[in-house]
Amino acid sequence: MQGDTRQRAPSTTFTRSQLPSQRVQVPQSDAIALRIPETQTQPPIADPRPSQTPAEHVITSPTPTALPPSEPIPQAFWDPERPTFKPYLIEPEPSALPSRVPVDLISSVPPPATSDTVRVALLLPLSGLHGQLGQAMLNAAQLALFDFADSRFELLLHDTHGTAEGAMTAAALAIGDGAAVVLGPLLSGSVQAVSPLARAAHVPVIGFSNDRSVAGQDVYTMGFLPRAQVERVVTYAYSRGITRFAALVPDNVYGSTTVSVLEETTTRLGAIVTRVKYYDPSAQDFADTVRVLANYDERRQALLDQRKDLEERDDELAKQALKRLEKLQTIGELTFEALLLPDGGKRLLSVAALLPFYDIDPNKVRMLGTGQWDGSELKAEPALIGGWYAAPPPAARGEFEKKFRNTYGEQPPRLVTLAYDAIALAAVLARNESGPDFSAAAITNPNGFWGRDGIFRFVPTGVAERGLAIMQLGPKSSRVLSPAPEAFQTALSN
């Protein structure tokens, strides 16, 4: 039988050796890796190193930066009653932080693994539609390597090109190269595509999707699930005396999911959902939908009818009543005390701006949101100020964002913490005292893990359960109304 002649997808092997000291441009026809000579000083810092090629193709940096050798994770990380790691506790010196890895490097087949080598595959869309996000996630992954990996840890990086086919090819090559666990890919279709191959090879997958339908049977998803966020914010609102809810959501799977959770949660609590309206997520104008949600025409007509009646009476009391009605758009109470707006970004801004126009008064109706509100652009919309939303606790992420900006000179996209936490998790499981352990029992540790977005753990069905805070949107910054838990108090659910 002849050897395998298939063309390998672009990949890079990172280890705890040294970082490239500068960006290296490589002809696309050559398969070249970077190797930096080993030096030693002190502890849990690792950096990326693309895999090695034959000696004549190895580029060696003349001025390597010394890096610390491995040491055990502090005992505090292994408290059996607490989540097992806190990525934000280890802060390398700025001079030791990673530089941007040149994605245009195409590496050769990774060198043979030793008996101590622990290989972990990272599948990201480094090119294609989501290439910018993929690069940012790679940068976050490098920070996690510095914080947690030891010298045995090898990260096999593969570009999925943002497609299911690219993800399948990347997973096949990574598993063939001895990956013990696959981190990624990003999109649900890609996670679904790699799952059969990974299951056949008995290699667990920890994807970055928030689609719970692709999880299960050794496939886990780290994405932020809308279910948990809606449950958290609705339960908090109910605890503050709100019993009548409405929802204004995009007409897609995400929107219908949030409505289902809203209805389930209010039923469980003894509250009610009085009104639900869907809007076309591709529309440019949402006025008609908001108008109907507000029952604006009926309430407006009720105001006009009352004014007419008072004008016909023409007495002093009628004149005083007319004066009180001068500044009103409508009369009559809305049927809800809180409005769930689970969307985000520019679309939410467009929708929210219409609420006061159709007399849904933010001073009388509490606006509720999800983690999609966790962005600075929403602070410009007065109708949302004071609204409550469920999101990961901000403290740990704030430290991460500062380090990311200092290292890479840019603000990290919201999802990059998934890559950081996945690498941290893999590195911790690889450093288990009895040897690397990526079993279902280890991954679904009921105590969970600390991450840049607070505590999380995987339930048996493969989805991530998270500890969420309740935030209140302010004109300059959000504040914590109800802190996220620091430990899981209940047994694992499904």
More confident residue, 423 or 313: 423
| Fold agreement between 11-223+394-462 and 226-295+334-391 | yes
Mean residue pLDDT of the chain comes to: 80
Give the gyration radius of the chain's Cα atoms. 27
- pLDDT for 93 beyond 60: no
d(CA 421, CA 199): 23
Give the tens place of pLDDT for each residue, 242-289. 999 999 999 999 999 999 999 999 999 999 999 999 999 999 999 999
Confidence grade of residue 4 (pLDDT, cut at 50, 70, 90): very low
Q: Which helix (H) or strand (E) holds 250?
A: strand 244-250
- As given in the structure block, the two tokens for residue 37 are 């000579």
What average pLDDT does range 110-132 have in this prediction? 85
- Residue 304, pLDDT score: 74
Nearest-angstrom CA–CA distance, 424 and 115? 22
Lowest mean pLDDT among 49-63, 378-392, 455-469: 49-63
Q: What is the pLDDT of residue 279?
A: 97
DSSP assigned state of 12: E
The two structure tokens encoding residue 202:
């008995």
Q: Which residues contact 214 (CB under 8 A, 6 or more apart)?
A: 188, 191, 192, 195, 207, 221
Cβ–Cβ under 8 Å, residues 383 and 367 = yes
Non-local CB neighbours of 243 within 8 Å, separated by 6+ positions: 270, 271, 272, 337
- Alpha-carbon separation of residue 332 from 287, 297, 302 (angstroms): 20, 11, 8
Q: What is the pLDDT of residue 434?
A: 84
Q: Could you read off the pLDDT of 130-146 as tens digits, one per residue?
A: 999 999 999 999 999 98
pLDDT at 310: 73
| Structure letter (DSSP) for residue 463 | B
> Is residue 334's pLDDT more than 60?
yes
**Measured between alpha carbons, how far is 460 from 262 in angstroms, rounded to an integer?**
24
Q: What is the pLDDT of residue 110?
A: 62
Counting runs of H as helices and runs of E as strands, what totals does the chain give? 12, 16
State the angle between helix axes of 296-313 and 316-325 in degrees (0 to 180), rounded to the nearest 10.
Answer: 150
Quote the pLDDT of residue 494.
55
Please give the residue that has the higher pLDDT: either 82 or 436.
Answer: 436
pLDDT of residue 326: 72
pLDDT at 491: 67
List the CATH code of the domain at 226-295+334-391. Answer: 3.40.50.2300
Burial of 5 (0-12, 13-18, 19+ CB in 10 A): exposed
CA distances from 218 to 156, 270, 483 (A): 20, 37, 31
Which of 172-176, 329-333, 486-490 is predicted least confidently? 329-333
Q: In what order do the strands lie in the sheet with 205-207?
A: 11-14, 153-159, 118-124, 181-183, 205-207, 219-221
Angle 98-102-103 (CA atoms, 0-180°, nearest 5)? 120
182, 206 Cβ separation under 8 angstroms: yes
In terms of CATH architecture, what is 11-223+394-462? 3-Layer(aba) Sandwich (3.40)
Predicted local confidence at residue 265, as pLDDT: 98
- Cα–Cα dist 483/60, whole Å: 49
pLDDT(184) > 50: yes
How far, rounded to the nearest angstrom, does the alpha carbon of residue 391 sit from its chain's CA centroid? Answer: 10
* High-pLDDT (> 70) share of the chain, %: 73
- For residue 431, count other CB atoms closer than 10 A to its CB: 22
pLDDT interval class at 71 (50, 70, 90): very low
Q: What is the pLDDT of residue 193?
A: 96
Judged against a pLDDT cut of 60, whether residue 27 lies above it is answered with no
Per-domain residue ranges of the chain: 11-223+394-462, 226-295+334-391
Q: pTM for the full model?
A: 0.77
- Residue 470 scores a pLDDT above 80: yes
Three-state DSSP at 108 gives coil
SS3 of residue 211 by DSSP? coil
Out of 301-305, 441-445, 485-489, least confident range? 301-305
- At 376 the pLDDT is 64
Helical pair 131-148 and 394-408, crossing angle rounded to 10 deg: 100
Higher pLDDT, 300 or 416: 416
Sign of CA dihedral 219, 220, 223, 228: positive
DSSP 16-37: SS---SS-----TTS---B---
What element of type H or E holds 482?
strand 479-482
**Tokens describing residue 6:** 């298939």
Task: Round to whole Å and give the CA distance between 361 and 355.
Answer: 7
Band of pLDDT at residue 330, cut at 50, 70 and 90: confident
Closest CA to 453 of 229, 215, 191, 155: 229
